[in-house]
Structure 1
């Protein structure tokens, strides 16, 4: 369903692309489409983790043997994880480069990119700096 609504045509090795899904033809801005696509992935991952955590607790302690304090801690943990799944990409989307800066950076990195890609009105570039986070 999400690939029908938001289908990004990505440009590698940059975090760039053009949205070509149904929402793009309706006129939804690319920033909202990208945000929705990332949020769907984060919520899916959080749901899988929550399912396995609940399953592990039920198998260890039994489905009805949890105290009120344990349930409150578990629900608080899930609530914090779901809230962070919605909010973790906001700093990235608040620092998006302008359209002209995106095109300039793209052409510096990929000078042979066809014009119909970087001149598209919905072309987006998520970041112009290359930061790699590691432990």
Structure 2
């Protein structure tokens, strides 16, 4: 259970079982959403899309193998096979987990996105529909969502740029 092959195989099997549920979720959101919920349909689809992408990123694209207690690791996924550097794979996952999403929103510009912000967008969308349609928020909304998208997409860039020396890190991990 502690080998890279076991982790990789397990995550691939999870993907095989999860993908039909993702597709069912897309179908339900797009074609079975009641008219009364049409105002949240695209926010739900947006959230589902980014959750699905995160799932595939963790189980197919990167397949992280974490080495505890050092919080170190290495990727086993297909991005490694295509030669994508590990630090870019980590940035992809971190940005997907904490990022921002308005790709499918009718009211916001098309932007790069992720799970955390799409969840925030669902709450903001409900607030707007229930309370803020005729307030100042109507005009500040796009700016708020755009600033959030920018912050989520760029927050981890300094960590990506300032990756410490990997040789020293490996020596430390081997000591642990």
- Considering the TM-score relative to the shorter chain, is it more than 0.5? yes
Choose which of 149, 157, 160 in structure 2 pairs with 1:93: 160
Q: Which residue does the alignment assign to 1:5?
A: 61
Q: TM-score, normalised by structure 2?
A: 0.55
Aligned pairs for 1:39-50 (under 5 A) are 39-42=95-98, 43-50=114-121
- Structure 1 CA distance for aligned equivalents of residues 71 and 139 of structure 2: 39
In 2: Cα distance, 1:83 partner to 1:15 partner:
27
Q: Among 53, 56, 80, which residue is 2:124 paired with?
A: 53
Shift of 1:21: 0.6
Alignment length, in residue pairs?
105
User: Which blocks of at least 5 consecutive residues in structure 1 are unaligned?
Assistant: 111-135
Matched, 1:74 2:141: yes
Residue 79 of structure 1 and its aligned partner are, at CA, apart by 0.7
Report the RMSD for the aligned CA atoms in angstroms.
1.6
Instruction: Tell me: higher relative CO, structure 1 or 2? Use CA pairs within 8 A at least 6 residues apart.
Output: 1
Aligned to 1:115: none
Alignment of 1:93-112 (within 5 A): 93-108=160-175, 110=176
1:17 corresponds, among 73, 79, 96, to: 73
More helix as a share of residues: 2
| 2:142 match: secondary structure | helix
CA displacement at 1:38 relative to structure 2: 0.7
